[in-house]
Amino acid sequence: MKSLGKTFQIHTFGCKLNFSESSEIARRLVEGGMALAERNPDYIIVNSCAVTATAEKKGRNDIARIHRENPSSGIVVVGCHSSLRPEEISQWQGVVKVFGNRDKMSVVDFLLGHGVGEAPRFFSSYSSNDRTRSFLKIQDGCDCHCAYCTVADARGESRSDTIENVLNNIEKIAAEDINEVILTGVNLGDFGKGTSENFYKLLQAIEKQHLIRRFRISSIEPYLLTDEIINLVASSEIIMPHFHIPLQNGSDKILALMRRRYSADFFAKKILTVKEKIPDACIALDVISGFPSETDEDFEDSYNLINRLPISYLHVFTYSRRPGTPAYSMKEQVPEPVKRQRTNRLLELSEEKKKIFYTQHLGKARPVLWESDKKSGLMFGFTDNYIKVKKPFDTESINKIIPIILSAENEVMSKEE
């Protein structure tokens, strides 16, 4: 490919989906003749996040810093923040072009000088800049419109890749000697919506193809995590016993206000079903603290539900008001100090749950995929059920799956490591 003589960088913020898409953008730009540059690039692409008001504020500050450090570079902003605030962002210093999520891949044609054509309904992507794993995008968008969330506006309606194209991408990933693929999307279990395909059929096809040794399911809604999916994971050698399931709240009153599509009892039964079928499964939950109208009693209901369920750890989010969402104008907003207090209690509970989960596996043998990162002479990896472990750095172990006996010495419990 003839070089265009133009250079670029990509700065990625937010979710795994963004990292997958950034990798695809970079791959296409290099194939088109541009080159990655460590300094003084002609263009800097910022793949933005808007999951919370804090993420938006950080994005503004980061773009201002990027411009200060690279005053001669043209900044192109893509992603969720640019979908929600295109006119505002286009006025920021250094910004030469703004693309939303739906036309995110148009940045490639723009930078290659091909003009900007019509964006496809769905574009597939996968990351390939990590020696051990790849994030493979199979779905985008969301039709749920939860009361607190801007993702449906930023990402658009639910849409998916095809099973055939997903399998083709897996072949490309396998050719790069990558041992783990994380299936990613905005609402993963919605894969195939409006077609004859669905997420279960995709998993069956991946199981049959059997090209890569590990697959993980990223976040999946509890009402889309069917018994047939759970049973397939239970019997699979390549789909890891690891689930990330959004709860958001354990109070039925708050779940209804959030516009979630299940009850606390339904959620609890789903968790118990997973643990019955897959006793060693790692189960992570998303929880939002301080949603409008959440009383102390509501919070205790939520806390107690989580406490009695056999989950492994939490992703805790403090409720963030987002203009344009139904929750923004709800009258009974929870004071910030109360939200922080509830967040801290949930974080403490998460650490307790994680310690219990790790302790349950002491003395057991689990296969570990070792990563290339080195810190203080140590290397790190994850078991099939997502227990983080460490050992002295060993180049020969990188990207290898090696069984180990879990012990207090090799498990990683601290947040710092």
Give the pLDDT of residue 417. Answer: 46
Give the pLDDT of residue 414. Answer: 60
Give the pLDDT of residue 1. Answer: 56
Query: In the CATH scheme, what is the code of domain 248-360?
Result: 3.30.750.200
Query: In the CATH scheme, what is the code of domain 7-112?
Result: 3.40.50.12160
Cβ atoms within 10 A of the Cβ of 311, count? 26
Distance of alpha carbon 238 from the chain centroid: 20
DSSP-derived letter for residue 43 is E
If you count them, how many residues does the chain have?
Answer: 417
Three-class HEC string of 260-290: CCCCHHHHHHHHHHHHHHCCCCEEEEEEEEC
Q: Do domains 121-240 and 248-360 have the same CATH topology?
A: yes
Give the pLDDT of residue 5. Answer: 80
CATH architecture of 121-240: 2-Layer Sandwich (3.30)
Tens digits of pLDDT across the chain (417 residues): 566 789 999 999 988 999 999 999 999 999 999 999 999 999 999 999 988 888 889 999 999 999 999 999 999 999 999 999 999 999 999 999 999 998 999 999 999 998 777 788 899 999 987 779 999 999 999 999 999 999 889 999 999 999 999 999 999 999 999 999 999 999 999 999 999 999 999 999 999 999 999 999 999 999 999 999 999 999 999 999 999 999 999 999 999 999 999 999 999 999 999 999 999 999 999 999 999 999 999 999 999 999 999 999 999 999 999 999 999 999 999 999 999 999 999 999 999 999 999 999 999 999 999 999 899 999 999 999 999 999 999 999 999 999 999 999 998 876 544
Tokens of 251: 């109070």
Quote the CA–CA distance of 222 and 372 in Å, as a whole number: 33
Quote the CA–CA distance of 229 and 226 in Å, as a whole number: 5
pTM for this predicted structure: 0.93
Concatenate the DSSP letters of all residues of 291-314 into one string: -TT--HHHHHHHHHHHHHS---EE
3-class secondary structure, 180: strand
Closest by CA to 217, choosing from 305, 99, 334, 136, is 136
Q: CB of 36 within 8 A of CB of 43? A: no
- Is beta strand 214-217 parallel, antiparallel or unpaired with respect to 242-248? unpaired
Q: CB of 102 within 8 A of CB of 156? A: yes
Give the pLDDT of residue 117. Answer: 72
Domain range annotation of the chain? 7-112, 121-240, 248-360, 365-405
Strand order in the sheet with 7-12: 35-36, 7-12, 43-48, 74-79, 95-98
